[in-house]
Structure 1
Amino acid sequence: MPDLETAARFRALHDGPGPLLLPNPWDAGSALVFERLGFQALATTSNGFALSHGLPDGAITRDGVFEGIEMIVQATSLPVTADLEHGFEEDAAALADVYRQAVAAGLAGGSIEDATGADEKPLFEIAEAADRVRIAAEAAHEVNPAFVLTGRAENYLHGLRDLGDVIARLQAYQEAGADVLYAPGLSGAADIRSVIESVDRPINVLFGPAHLTVAELAELGVARISIGGSFAFAAYGAAAEVAREFLENGTNTYAALSRAGHAATGL
């Protein structure tokens, strides 16, 4: 069912006095932890979710992604926006159905990226990508006008470091109906400032590659900061470290970390 109130609450969070900090849960348990820590909203992560299934990013089917989304939405009272990759579908009618399904799943928002998934042509041409944004926006907003659609320019994730093209794409996605704009991998204050000054929508920045603190990003005027799959990989990194201690040393100095994790869930 469309959740108009939660989507409206999520939309309003983009107009706060500082950036909206979005952690990216990869399952219901991590969503629960982030809510208990005091975050105001959540964003799913495609690579973190794929990792939890032992698969590379992009290897989970549409049905599998929505199963994960539904578990996270049901685990939390917070607004959730979902990484819907490139929309999963090529056909316009099927693509529109994905974003109607996103609204029906109770999501407050979702993204659409311009990556094709094909090595020989990593990005859709701007016109086609913008048309796909328009299809997604119209489908979602028809059912829930408050739904926050994020248009993503994937240039930097594919080694295409052309800021001019990034800006042209984000401007096109803005005109096509995107509510938030995002170029993951964007780095450096000057580039981020150029993007913000070139569009008229809230900008999401991926935290790690920016090499800037939250305070510095706030000073630039960034509206939203997410962390992608980095928390998921950090969690698996911690699991590897404590498992190595158990295997190689036969000790359990990680017990305090385990108790902290148990306490964080409240279960």
Structure 2
Amino acid sequence: MTDPSRPEDRDASPSGGKAAALRRLHVAGDPLVLPNAWDAASARMAEAAGLPAVATSSAATAAVLGYDDGEAAPVEEVLAAAGRIVRAVSLPVTVDFERGYGLAPAELVERFAATGAVGLNLEDSNPPDGNMVDVAEQTDFLAAVRDAAVSLNVDLVINARTDAFLRRSGPPEAQLAATLDRGARYLAAGADCVYPIGVGDPDVIRVLAEGIPGPVNVAYGLGKLSLAELAALGVARVSFGPALQRHLYTTFGSALFSAVASGENPFTP
């Protein structure tokens, strides 16, 4: 009988394949680097660059779909976008799925698995208001998602995002304590990785990497810490979130389109 708390048992599930490959890429000190994509074209760019997996950003994906972040995009459109990305590349794809768009765990797993993606982020603050979800409620939710996946013979790499730092939930020491507690509980519930978004202090990152009993995901943070520095701190996964898409689209808006609007040649440096 498989034990969803054991990654090696999840790898042995019938849908293991790409999920197992994605899971094995999470190595403390040699992190999986994910410059998050937002559509099929950007996913293909990631693959062409030689990256081993593709991740999405909910904010970047929502923007190109014409919506705000925070589960404002209809779940049908988010799932369709994920499916297009999966079809466009041969790599494992992991999707930022916010807090699950209100889907019950069994429906979430069934509909998500139909896209072909093998990993997903699930966060522990409510997208509409930013309030933290009670730790017991979120732990139960993650456990139910894992149980549903096991029941459906679907292997999912669950990246449990925890938002105490992002939401400034209490003083810094309380944010750290809550993140360590939530991280341990989420891993015990069946998560594969913990993502304490909003943390940038190297000393805090080291404490989290050493204190959370599993892989830790950290945001690149616009390069304030290099990839080498993050690796040395024990990080197992590095995300860029919507930063690349925002940087690229800012360039479009401030240079290319404004040049066209003013009658200039947008192709002239």
TM-score over 0.5 for the alignment?
Answer: yes
Q: Secondary structure at the match of 1:205?
A: strand
Shift of 1:111: 1.6
Partner residue in 1 for 2:23: 11
- Within 5 Å, give how 1:14-93 maps onto structure 2: 14-15=26-27, 18-58=30-70, 59-89=72-102
Q: Which structure has the highest helix share of the two?
A: 1
Conservation of the 8 A alpha-carbon contact between 1:187 and 1:210: no
- Structure 1 distance, partners of 2:54, 2:257, is 29
Partner residue in 1 for 2:126: 116
Bigger mean CA deviation after superposition, 139-148 or 227-236: 139-148
Residue 224 of structure 2 corresponds to residue 187 of structure 1: no
| Distance of aligned partners of 1:196 and 1:227 in 2 relative to their CA distance in 1, 3 Å threshold | same
Residue 110 of structure 2 corresponds to residue 97 of structure 1: no
Q: Secondary structure at the match of 1:150?
A: strand
- Give the counterpart letter for 1:237 in structure 2: T
Conservation of the 8 A alpha-carbon contact between 2:19 and 2:92: yes
Task: Give deviations 1:128-163, integer Å, cap 9, x for gaps.
Answer: 111111111222244346421111102222232521
Unaligned segments of structure 1, at least 5 residues:
256-267
Partner residue in 1 for 2:11: none
Shift of 1:79: 0.4
| Distance of aligned partners of 1:127 and 1:33 in 2 relative to their CA distance in 1, 3 Å threshold | same
Conservation of the 8 A alpha-carbon contact between 1:186 and 1:209: no
Q: Secondary structure at the match of 1:123?
A: coil
| Distance of aligned partners of 1:180 and 1:144 in 2 relative to their CA distance in 1, 3 Å threshold | farther
Partner residue in 1 for 2:243: 230
- Structure 1 distance, partners of 2:183, 2:65, is 32
Partner residue in 1 for 2:166: 157
Conservation of the 8 A alpha-carbon contact between 1:24 and 1:227: yes
Residue 218 of structure 2 corresponds to residue 216 of structure 1: no
Shift of 1:249: 5.5
Task: Give deviations 1:177-205, integer Å, cap 9, x for gaps.
Answer: 11111011111111111111111111111
- Within 5 Å, give how 1:187-266 maps onto structure 2: 187-208=200-221, 211-240=224-253, 241-248=255-262, 250-254=264-268
- Give the counterpart letter for 1:153 in structure 2: T
- Give the counterpart letter for 2:265 in structure 1: T
Conservation of the 8 A alpha-carbon contact between 1:84 and 1:111: yes
Structure-2-length-normalised TM-score = 0.86
Q: Secondary structure at the match of 2:126?
A: strand
Q: Secondary structure at the match of 1:158?
A: coil
Partner residue in 2 for 1:148: 157
- Give the counterpart letter for 2:177 in structure 1: G
Unaligned segments of structure 2, at least 5 residues:
1-13
Task: Give deviations 1:84-133, integer Å, cap 9, x for gaps.
Answer: 1101126xxx23321232223211211211112342x6111111111111
Structure-1-length-normalised TM-score = 0.87
Q: Secondary structure at the match of 2:181?
A: helix
Bigger mean CA deviation after superposition, 133-142 or 194-203: 133-142
